[in-house]
Structure 1
Amino acid sequence: MDRIFTLDEARALLPAVIEDARAVIAARADLAEIDFERRSGGRSELGGLPELKGLQARIEEILSGWGEQGIEVKGIAPVLVDFPAVLDGVSVRLCWIEGERELGWYHRTELGFPGRRPL
């Protein structure tokens, strides 16, 4: 069964999500640099294939952890997650995107990100 969050539950999880998102953002940048250097025949100071694979594994570990908690990952560039919820009897997603300091937005489930509204 899919988890349904209350606003308080989602907000309580947000500090850990933001901390994990910082790790994803750093790994994402390192991955981009290593991959670019590998494809262009250069060598990154950040390493090579083993480091690239390690970064990919770290990102996957974080995303899987979010999924196990019932958090829906919508993207990693930028990091975008949804917390399934019900507001006033309507299925919604409490929506957080990289750079936001708090959970202040939602959208109806069927509308997605373009339907975002402030809580």
Structure 2
Amino acid sequence: MGLFTIAEARIELARLRPVLHELVAVRADAAELAASLADGGTPTPLGGLPEWKGAQARLDDLMTVVQQTGAELRGFAPLLVDFPADLDGAPVLFCWLEGEPELIWYHRPDLGFAGRRRIP
């Protein structure tokens, strides 16, 4: 896939919000189900092994939806989504972290999250 402009990345993030919200909810359900199964199958209102397998499958589907946009899902807990871009002739990744209200950060690919800067 191609590179995103900041406007395109912001539009894509807005379009992905329902997917990302569902990913967070299913991630929490999967974690609770996994903990229940690890405790020897202690009952949980969410179910058991079949529901855990279903949650895992749904997580895979949701992650695929994100990746198909050209965005890169870099973190799962918390969610971290990068949008490949070019800023002033240099390759960058516009970077969104779960909980951030909007897309306002970028970093060079070689620096990763530690190199985040505000988008000018």
TM-score range, shorter chain: over 0.9
Aligned partners of 1:40 and 1:79: how far apart in 2? 27
Bigger mean CA deviation after superposition, 17-26 or 93-102: 17-26
Aligned partners of 2:59 and 2:16: how far apart in 1? 13
Distance apart, 1:21 and its partner CA: 1.2
Q: Is the 8 A contact 1:35 1:52 kept in 2?
A: yes
Using the size of structure 2 for normalisation, the TM-score is: 0.94
Aligned partners of 1:90 and 1:109: how far apart in 2? 10
Partner of 2:34 in structure 1? 35
Aligned partners of 1:67 and 1:33: how far apart in 2? 25
Task: Determine if the alignment matches structure 1 residue 7 to structure 2 residue 6.
Answer: yes
Of all paired residues, the percent bearing the same amino acid is: 47
CA RMSD of superposed structures (Å)? 0.9
Q: Is the 8 A contact 1:34 1:43 kept in 2?
A: no
Distance apart, 1:69 and its partner CA: 1.3
Q: Is the 8 A contact 1:4 1:83 kept in 2?
A: yes
Where in structure 1 do 4 or more consecutive aligned residues deviate above 4 Å? none
Partner of 2:109 in structure 1? 109
Task: Determine if the alignment matches structure 1 residue 52 to structure 2 residue 39.
Answer: no
**What does the per-residue CA deviation read over 1:16-35, in whole Å, with 9 as the maximum and x for residues that have no partner?**
22221111111111111111
Using the size of structure 1 for normalisation, the TM-score is: 0.95
Structure 2 residue runs of 5 or longer lacking an equivalent are none
For residue 112 of structure 2, what is the amino acid of its counterpart?
Answer: G
Aligned partners of 2:7 and 2:86: how far apart in 1? 12
Q: Secondary structure at the match of 2:63?
A: helix
Task: Determine if the alignment matches structure 1 residue 25 to structure 2 residue 29.
Answer: no
Distance apart, 1:52 and its partner CA: 0.7
Matches within 5 A, 1:45-84: 45-84=45-84
**What does the per-residue CA deviation read over 1:45-68, in whole Å, with 9 as the maximum and x for residues that have no partner?**
101111111111111111111111
Task: Determine if the alignment matches structure 1 residue 85 to structure 2 residue 77.
Answer: no
Matched residue pairs, number? Answer: 118
Structure 1 residue runs of 5 or longer lacking an equivalent are none
Aligned partners of 2:14 and 2:69: how far apart in 1? 14
